């Protein structure tokens, strides 16, 4: 099965097309995926909570210690990263100490790597927690996933393990008052016999309506890049991505395409 999992709390730096040299932080258990979504394209593979038995998230002190050691070493090598990025084996806001760890990370960044952007890649399902919301408001690059215009597409693409209302998610993202970046992966295919396509006219129109309500700083648009857990998914070509981006841009939204 497709899927790549991190075995460390701090990894990299790795080169990211969107973030430059990015030092990764994985707050989820090593080599086990932990997420509120089960996206059909997830690079970590399918979400399977039975894999989590006996596995723990790293403690706050261990995260801070690992990050400080790495930043110190990179500083000595004159190789500081462009970004410190919370990503890894799933949804970072699931860590119970996520707000405190963000607080610690901002302090470490200021001390060792003042020009690095503290970045979080999230699916937005933690936004109902006011402490998580506040922590995300304080970081530099608050990158939130929104792959769908409609509830149907969100359910088919992201397969949430809880009731996630697209309308509510859009409201929560709008509450950042522009201090949010939206990332959208476009795809099409058939999964378990059901057609999935967020590039259709009706989906793109609904997605643009959502973006207008959110009014993000900008939007990142990209296709599938690696092997996916679901078979039969199609990589969307650059021309189609650019055409979708141009339609959103025509409404005044800054859209960046990473084909
Ligand atoms: S939200 Fe991210 S980590 Fe979770 S299933 Fe989707 S792509 Fe994977």
- The parent domain of residue 250 ranges over 10-257
* 62 found inside a domain: yes
Structure confidence at residue 2 (pLDDT): 56
Ligand 1 mutation target, pool 42, 47, 49, most atoms within 8 A of CB: 42
Residue list, ligand 1 pocket, CB within 6 Å: 35, 37-39, 42, 44, 47, 90-91, 123, 145
The count of structural domains within the chain is 1
The answer to whether residues 28 and 218 touch, using CB atoms and an 8 Å cutoff, is: no
Q: d(Cα 26, Cα 13) in Å, to the nearest integer? A: 13
Q: d(Cα 113, Cα 51) in Å, to the nearest integer? A: 36
Question: Taking the CB of residue 244, how many other CB atoms lie within 10 A of it?
Answer: 22
Determine the distance separating the centroid of ligand 1 and the alpha carbon of 90, expressed in angstroms: 6
CA 122 to ligand 1: nearest atom: 1
* 1 found inside a domain: no
| Measured CA angle at 45 (ends 44, 48), to 5 deg | 105
Output the CA torsion 126→131→133→136 (10° steps): -100
Q: What is the CATH number of the domain that holds 226?
A: 3.20.20.70
Ligand 1 mutation target, pool 123, 143, 160, 226, most atoms within 8 A of CB: 123
Structure confidence at residue 60 (pLDDT): 98
Digits of tens for pLDDT over the chain (259 positions)?
A: 457 888 899 999 999 999 999 999 999 999 889 999 999 999 999 998 777 777 899 999 999 999 999 999 999 999 999 999 999 999 999 999 999 999 999 999 999 999 999 999 999 999 999 999 999 999 999 999 999 999 999 999 999 998 999 999 999 999 999 999 999 999 999 999 999 999 999 999 999 999 999 999 999 999 999 999 999 899 999 999 999 999 999 999 999 999 9
Determine the distance separating the centroid of ligand 1 and the alpha carbon of 225, expressed in angstroms: 14
Ligand 1 mutation target, pool 39, 94, 159, most atoms within 8 A of CB: 39
* 50 found inside a domain: yes
* 3 found inside a domain: no
Instruction: Categorise residue 37: left if φ over 0, alpha if ψ from -120 to 50, beta otherwise.
Output: beta
* 2 found inside a domain: no
Q: d(Cα 55, Cα 29) in Å, to the nearest integer? A: 6
Structure confidence at residue 49 (pLDDT): 78
Q: pTM surpassing 0.75? A: yes
Q: d(Cα 58, Cα 30) in Å, to the nearest integer? A: 9
């Amino acid at each position: 099965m497709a899927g790549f999992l991190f075995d460390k709390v701090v990894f990299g730096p790795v080169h990211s097309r969107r973030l430059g040299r990015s030092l990764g932080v994985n707050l989820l258990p090593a080599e086990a995926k932990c997420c509120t979504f089960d996206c059909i394209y997830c690079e970590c593979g399918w979400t399977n909570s039975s894999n989590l038995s006996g596995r723990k998230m790293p403690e706050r002190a261990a995260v801070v210690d690992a990050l400080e050691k790495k930043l110190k070493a990179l500083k000595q090598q004159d190789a500081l990263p462009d970004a410190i990025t919370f990503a890894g084996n799933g949804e970072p806001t699931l860590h119970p100490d996520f707000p405190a760890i963000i607080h610690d990370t901002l302090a470490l960044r200021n001390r060792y790597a003042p020009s690095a952007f503290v970045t979080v890649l999230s699916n937005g399902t933690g936004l109902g927690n006011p402490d998580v919301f506040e922590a995300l408001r304080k970081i530099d690059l608050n990158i939130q996933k929104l792959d769908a215009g409609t509830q149907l597409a969100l359910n088919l693409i992201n397969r949430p393990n809880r009731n996630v209302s697209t309308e509510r998610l859009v409201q929560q993202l709008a509450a950042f008052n522009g201090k949010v970046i939206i990332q959208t992966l476009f795809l099409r295919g058939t999964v378990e016999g059901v057609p999935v396509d967020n590039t259709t006219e009706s989906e793109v129109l609904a997605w643009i309506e959502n973006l207008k309500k959110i009014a993000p700083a900008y939007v990142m648009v990209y296709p599938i890049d690696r092997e996916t857990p679901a078979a039969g998914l199609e990589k969307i070509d650059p021309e189609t991505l650019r055409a979708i981006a141009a339609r959103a841009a025509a409404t005044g939204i800054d859209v960046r395409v990473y084909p």
